[in-house]
Structure 1
Amino acid sequence: MRVWKAVAITGVFMSVDVGITTVLYVFSHRDRGVLQDLRDFNIFDSVLDLWAACLYRSCLLLGATIGVAKNSALGPRRLKAAWTFIILVCLFVGIYTMVKMLLFSEVRKPIRDPWFWGLFVWTYASIGATFFLWWLLSTVRPGHTVLEPGAPGEGVGYPTEGQPKQEETSGATLQKLLSYTKPDLAFLVAASFFLVVAALGETFLPYYTGRAIDGIVIQKSMDQFSTAVVILCLLALGSSFAAGIRGGIFTLIFARLNIRLRNCLFRSLVLQETSFFDENRTGDLISRLTSDTTMVSDLVSQNVNIFLRNIVKVTGVVVFMFSLSWQLSLVTFMGFPIIMMVSDIYGKYYKRLSKEVQNALARASNTAEETISAMKTVRSFANEDEEAEVYDRKLQQVYKLNRKEAMAYTYYVWGSGNVSFTLSPGKVTALVGPSGSGKSSCVNILENFYPVEEGRVLLDGKPISSYEHKYLHRVISLVSQEPVLFARSITDNISYGLPTVPFTMVVDAAQKANAHDFIMELQDGYNTETGEKGAQLSGGQKQRVAMARALVRNPPVLILDEATSALDAESEYMIQQAIHGNLQKHTVLIIAHRLSTVEKAHSIIVLDKGRVVQQGTHKQLLTQGGLYAKLVQRQMLGLETGTDDDGGGGGGSRQEKQRFPSSHQEPPDGHGEVHKA
């Protein structure tokens, strides 16, 4: 479209937008003027802010119009550069308008003002129009060729016939891929039918579970309970059966798709000119024919299956949500546009990374194919080691890109801040913080479960990654929130991972963990079978056996990740006595959700959103105030309950509501030091 047309359309819309919004605003507040409304503004009863949003939209469009009209060559390119900004503005105004409607619904139940509803609908219509006009102004063509300064003789911004076409969109690529499944249309219809049946069954399962509970608890009706249970069983059986058939059919469809893609690609390859094979390496072509086609068919099968299943489930869930509370449902959906935008940005980056990985893998395959096909030449020059090193370098490039992919996924889920703290030898250090603050992430890094891309983790002054795996986990022992016991005797569980351990050491470790007494009360004592995953023991007993398993190694560094969350008050007290009494020669790190567990620690480190925000003793942190004092106050009032999403656990107990004593014990120095910066 030409510049003057886009400018004219935008100007007309701005006038209409301001006019209609003003009329709707005036008629919705006929009892008071603009100045009075501004002076006595009430967000629950005034739409002045929606009128102000209209003026802001118009100012943005006016600036864009003037910029394009004055500089039709560079103006559209600058608007494209500001594309993210206008998206954020439209999203913010849309979400704010939804919040406005919810606030109005709290004051006026229901909202009967037609002028408000008119303004509400018009605001969303004008947001869409603003978005469209911004795109229109960013794609206009000038009436004559304008040269960019410093680049004489070159047109600006518009592709010519000799220029390559833009990359196809993801939608076009997916459409082309799905076109290869046309021969399997009958299978697709059958798979879709069973998919809908399975998804609907899964959607109604929670509803009838609730009906069954209501029937026995609230209604006290055996008939309602029995009916709900029968329907529940039928739904479970039906959805499971349908899901199995759906999975089998989809597996068949996409196995056929993989074969079809390979055949089409191979036919295309053999029809190429001879010069094509001179320009492209054999290893690259083989990689495209094998690994790339498999990856594409797998991705399509997984995503199509998940997408269709989730569409059906989401539809059912949305209907249920709006039938229960349309206000809460709208609040839930407010953040979806932002999530979708972030996902789109992340998806483009991840797609580029995946393409680089496949290219690197193709180069590695080409190196291997080239070396194997010329093995006589390699042998004749005794160059086997050099070729192996070349292949290793290619694989290292693939590995680096794989690490980038993993980090991209990790940062998409969680972006952490900078953390720095020290574990002093022979001291008890505690990590506390709200859910999701990064406590268990620190444990994973200290245990070397995940590599650190930036910063350092030092043990006795040496990077933790430099230690041999078995040695490192002999000197650092972890007791997690949900310990895993194996289906063997208690003795075997305590000595797990150690080839030969004297029975006296097992007993000594159990005594330190305050587990010896309850073990001796069991029928077979230390020979008692714990059952699968420790099912024969209570949560507190499993926790103490897990602590004994850690202590039997006599580790210099002991990490307790919510180790007392499953214990009752008496068991927790016994474990605390072990920490501050029997473990004085160990460097102890406690990850805690209950602050009563950490009050006696020599140093308490407070995390929030992946950063260290406070550090000191219990008394010092209470004196300072801040996040730690707030957490203590909440638990004293019984407000902090539930589980820690970051790996912590432990709901509220009575012990959480007690007033924290001021006692503070100082165990002597031990050995073992960990730094993380």
Structure 2
Amino acid sequence: MATSSTSSARPAAQSPRSLSGLLPFVRPYWLAIALALLFLTLAAAATLLFPVALRHLIDGGLVSADKGQAAMGLRGYFVQLFGVAVALGVFSAARFYLVSWLGERITADLRNAVYAHVLRQSPAFFEHTQTGEVISRLSTDTTLVQTVVGSSLSLGLRNAVMGIGALGMLVWTNPQVMLQVLLILLLVVVPSTWFGRRVRRLSRASQDRVADASAIATEVINAIPVVQSHTAEAREASRFADATERAFGTAVRRTRARAALVAFVIISTAALLLWGLYQGTQAVLAGSITPGHLGQTVVYTIILAGAVAVLGEVYGDLLRAAGASERLMELLATESPIRSPAQPVNPPWPEGGSAVLFESVDFRYPSRPDDPTLRGVSLRVNPGETVALVGPSGAGKTTALALLLRQYDPQGGRILLDGAPIDGMDLQHLRQRIGIVPQEPVIFSGSALDNIRYGRPEASDAEVRAAAQAAYAEEFIERLPQGYDTFMGERGVRLSGGQRQRIAIARAILKNAPLLLLDEATSALDAQSERMVQAALESAMRDRSTLVVAHRLATVQRADRIVVLDHGRVVEQGTHAELVALGGVYARLAALQFQT
């Protein structure tokens, strides 16, 4: 129930450079970016032309001595202003569309990349990263990135172009005044940078606290029946409230710092504007510039001041998005230790079942490095043979199946499938050769048809129905409201435990792999259903190898061979009769179960 370690505090970088991790997602759309930059520049240029047109209007149309000529000239000047406005509107609309499209497209690509990367992680990844943490990064963090790419970044670039252009025009027309303005501008930028660094650190911390709350919510909502059965609703609500309060407290500190940044930028830019205006009025009074020149200077000063203010806001957005980008890049940089080799060696597909060989396998779970789960396990399954793994809880039975599926790699020894080491095979090829019925079957929120063909999506409806019949699932599926097209509900909440298990068995039968793994495949069935499904499984096990994990020994008595695990070691092997006669671990387990 602890929060993810990935949400712990980390040293934050001192600039928005973390956004550079987005470059691989930006490069494919260079043409759209170039067009957006072109329209952005044209829109900024149109804005910068407005003060020039205004100067002409004032000096040529309002200050002229000939009133008739001035009236005629005003029309032309207003037409110029309207032309500038039309150009600004068209270029701004084109820029807005392209930038918004880029924001949506890049964010979608980023979400897809992160999700696909997470799906390739080994179970070891989820031993230290909670599901809610991943969901938070997929939703909240990518939304922040979308805000920057689709809005703030464009706004910042546009204002940067306009600010530089306005500054250039002011330096050209009023060089002495602008030297003083530049000094004031430096006094604005330096403190803003310091404020920005603090905002960024607090933004990262705020996103981590939100992820903690999401992790708690995801964990608890997925276990609602357990929570309610232990009357823990109030306790869990309080735990979530504590997490959201911590997120709120961090967000308040971030907002306070950003508010101080905004106030400083607005006050300093207002001072910048008023200083420029004061110097301009003094120049008009001295007769060194015309009123139109003053109007032009005022507008350029307003554009410069507005650009600085907007850039301060955008910088805050960039810093916040940099924290989100860091978290996403961390996730994308996580490398799964379980990968396909560069040059895989895949053995031919066997006809009569696969051969499995464990050679002195040692294994410890990454989260429990000091607690060996398997110790020197050697095990052989011949083609077409059914081998049962039994033993006390924690003996390593399910772990052996996880290693065979290469969800983990052993620390010692090796595992061979059909004569080839599984770590030298292509991962997809390896797992396509194995069908599995897990102890806790997973039902997806689709139809019964989709759930059964999950492992073989190209299967026809007739093949799906045949697999359901073999698993004795058809009789309850046809009683559902829409039969095979019935929506199963999230995690199969509309089905009983036994029905979910029969769906999982039908899925494994349809996959028709040469190796079948059964992990307590009948544990959730009543006696009548178990007899039916056991008969179906025995039929499904023909012409393939089967490795069965079971606690209920009645289900494995007819196995070709029974392997007994205890404390991670193979302690006995043989048939049911041989092991009972041996009087060891299996005999004691059998005596307890059958006497009961």
Give TM-score scaled by structure 2 length: 0.42
Q: Which has the larger radius of gyration?
A: 2
Give TM-score scaled by structure 1 length: 0.37
User: Higher relative CO (CA 8 A, sep ≥ 6), structure 1 or 2?
Assistant: 2
